[in-house]
Amino acid sequence: MAQKKFISIYEQLKNQILSEQYQYGDQIPSENELVSTYGTSRETVRKALELLANDGMIQKIRGKGSVVIYQGITEFPFSELISFKEVQNQLGLKHQTELIVNEEVRAGDYERVRLALGLKAEEKLIHVIRTRSIKGKVKILDEDFFLKSVVKSITASVAKKSIYDYLENDLALDISYSSKSITFEPFSKLDYEMFGDINPPYTATVRSTVYLKDTTQFQYNISKHLATEFKFKEFSRRLENLLQ
């Protein structure tokens, strides 16, 4: 019975957090209040709170009790080559997109991008920066570089909707595959400007080089997520035949 009780309390509190009855930064009821509300022991309440803490829902802070730290973690498919718009439609995300930068630049001004795409310094790129926000708070910072010889220009309207829809349906580009890496990096000056004063000030940064079917490297993407809100999920299978 005790086990069922603390799981029931855990599930009720978790649902209240997910439904935003308790939002990020809110203090949930104290242990004493929960003991009284649920008519149970302090040990049972502590077990429920421990499960919430393990899930990344709350954090115990001295002098404040248990504070909600959950901000709506989204699992992004890491192995798939998929646009944010497609992820948004599949997962029912409510992010709003804002266009920050849309310009033409020299590859030589972005050495890491130039090297990743194998370009000469004088070659031109279309540089786009967009934010993905929920309720006015930036959750994702997307920065893209497109080879101008392949993508002549991108309008503000296209950038706010779906660049990949434009590339595939209007420009008839055959986007085939990408290589990706994930690193955890301290905030840059731009990150502070976009995300604000977040603790800890780190992003989970996904860098992708995207190829057309003819193997042309035409796009370099930098997708930054708040480290505390990022989660990627992948399926792995043990290759038994290789171990025999």
Residues 7-62 pLDDT 10s: 999 999 988 888 888 887 889 999 999 999 999 999 999 999 999 988 778 888 77
For residue 232, give both structure tokens. 């990627």
What is the band of 76 on the pLDDT scale with cuts at 50, 70, 90?
Answer: low
Tens digit of each residue's pLDDT (9 = 90 or more) over 87-99: 555 555 567 899 9
For residue 127, give both structure tokens. 């540089």
pLDDT for 1 beyond 80: no
Tens digit of each residue's pLDDT (9 = 90 or more) over 162-176: 899 999 999 999 998
pLDDT for 78 beyond 60: no
For residues 84 and 64, the model is more confident at 64
**Contact yes or no for 104/127 (Cβ under 8 A):** yes
Tens digit of each residue's pLDDT (9 = 90 or more) over 147-164: 999 999 999 999 998 899
What's the confidence (pLDDT) of residue 229? 77
Task: Tell me the sheet residues that pair with 122.
Answer: none
What is the band of 139 on the pLDDT scale with cuts at 50, 70, 90?
Answer: confident
**What average pLDDT does this structure show over 209-221?**
93
**What average pLDDT does this structure show over 52-74?**
77
> What is the share, in percent, of the chain residues with pLDDT greater than 70?
83
* Entry field: residues in the chain: 244
Task: Tell me the sheet residues that pair with 61.
Answer: 65
**d(C-alpha 147, C-alpha 191), whole Å:** 24
For residues 224 and 57, the model is more confident at 224
DSSP per-residue letters across the chain = -HHHHHHHHHHHHHHHHHTTSS-TTPBPPPHHHHHHHHT--HHHHHHHHHHHHHTTSEEEETTTEEEE-----EEEESSS---HHHHHHHHT---EEEEEEEEEEEGGGSHHHHHHHT--TT-EEEEEEEEEEETTEEEEEEEEEEETTT-----HHHHHS-HHHIIIIIS---EEEEEEEEEEEE--HHHHHHH-S-SS-EEEEEEEEEEETT--EEEEEEEEEEGGGEEEE------HHHH-
What's the confidence (pLDDT) of residue 2? 45
What's the confidence (pLDDT) of residue 3? 54
For residue 74, give both structure tokens. 């989204």
